[in-house]
Chain A
Amino acid sequence: MSESESEFDAYLSLTDVTEDDHRWAFGTGFADPLAGVDVTLQAGVNPSDAAALAERCLALGDDALIYSHRLQQWVTRAPELEEETALANIALDLLGQARLLLTRAAQAEGRGRDEDQLAFFRDEREFRNVRLVEHADADFAELAARLLVFSAWRLALFERLTAVPATDPRPDPVLAAIAAKAVKELTYHRDYAAAWVIRLGDGTDYSHAKAQAALDALWPLVAELDLDADAAAYLDAVIAEATLTRPSAPPLAPVAGKTGRDGTHTEAMGYILAELQSVARANPDATW
């Protein structure tokens, strides 16, 4: 039932009995984001299309996987219990996106791998995430600023994926379904982060200085995102409302012409992967 329906529908909904009715007070049934979507690769899809789809899903999945891990590291370290739960929720949303995207990448590449093999048994140079998601937050202001930039960028990107682009002769229905689910999650992430950036930027002198320092520290990593006009305009509006200044720092230089999407990462990436992958690699046959 949508929020927009009138209060009177609450009476009707009492008769809306389903199989899980005995536990309705603890929450209701859960929806499969891929329900009704045919996950087999479309007939006649040529190998280069499949390779392009695998590459695209891998890049988007790696962004979510690595950033989710960075957010999980805030658990037990956040300034308030309520914020910690909020961050854990966001990290779990992104982990869910990563699982669906890596599963799709594995189907498209057709090499018999699955999401776990892609997440836990690839080496650093095979990861395709942007370098922004590897960054270690120095403080809560950096966390808020980075989440703002990441979610504004990713939301704009996924909104484009849900609309069937005229230029794409063979859009992937699974990727579109994943994007449709993710758009709702990312809208909340972006609003959460924007609220904090504005609160800090337009707060005390101390919080303002911290928020500006956070933007300054992150800005060299923003160029790699290739922000579209909508996302850039949104960020400018939030930065202005937070009484902050958009930095003009030069982008972090590519290494031999290569950036995160090419598999070239910052020093932090090795430490992230060691933590992320060590248990799965020590017990490759474990199930959970």
Chain B
Amino acid sequence: MPPSTEPPSTGWPLYEVFLRGKRGLNHVHVGSLHAADPEMALRHARDLYTRRNEAVSIWVVPADAITASSPDEKDPFFAPSGDKVYRHPTFYQIPEDVPHI
């Protein structure tokens, strides 16, 4: 029998945690945790990931609700964009007063 690749079960499902910092515009993935339900996941996220004043907003998402691309698809997914320089906004001037580009 081949060794299991499944992580050991803690009995609680895995949640992914996203934080928005005081000066951040978007929520950023910071890690994961185990919790019995979304409410508990939110509390755990507060206790594990905001201890140093990192956040003003938390999202938690069940890990199994995320559909991820596979490393096997790396070439067909991402390599074709590597030589399309014309897709970058490098051929015009950006006005100085437009932020976040």
Contact = CB atoms under 8 A, between A and B. Distances in A.
Contacts of A267: none
A85 B48 contact: yes
B21 A24 contact: yes
Contacts of B56: 1, 3
Nearest to B24: A10
B43 A195 contact: yes
Nearest to A17: B23
Contact of A80 (B10, B20, B23, B52): B10
A75 to B, nearest CB: 13
B87 interface: no
Task: Specify which of B10, B46, B56, B100 lies most central, judged by the most chain A CB atoms within 10 Å of its CB.
Answer: B56
A6 to B, nearest CB: 12
Interface string B48-62: 100111101100000
Contact of B23 (A16, A82, A89, A188): A16
Interface in B28-61: 33-36, 39-40, 43-44, 46-48, 51-54, 56-57
Given A80-B10, A82-B44, A86-B47, A27 B23 contact: no
A89 B51 contact: yes
A80 B48 contact: no
Interface residues of B, number: 27
A1 B55 CA distance: 11
B22 A14 contact: no
Contacts of B46: 188
Contacts of B57: 3
Contacts of A192: 43
A11 B43 contact: no
Instruction: Give the size range of A's interface with the partner.
Output: 20 to 34
A30 interface: yes
B48 A25 contact: no
Nearest to A86: B47
A82 B33 contact: yes
A13 B56 CA distance: 12
Contacts of A1: 22, 56
Interface of A: 1, 3, 10-11, 13-14, 16, 24-30, 80-82, 85-86, 89, 188, 192, 195, 199
- The 6 A-B pairs with the shortest beta carbon distances in the complex, nearest first, are A27-B52, A27-B53, A86-B47, A82-B44, A27-B54, A28-B53
Interface of B: 10, 12, 20-25, 33-36, 39-40, 43-44, 46-48, 51-54, 56-57, 99-100
7 contacts: A10-B24, A10-B25, A27-B52, A28-B53, A82-B34, A82-B44, A85-B47
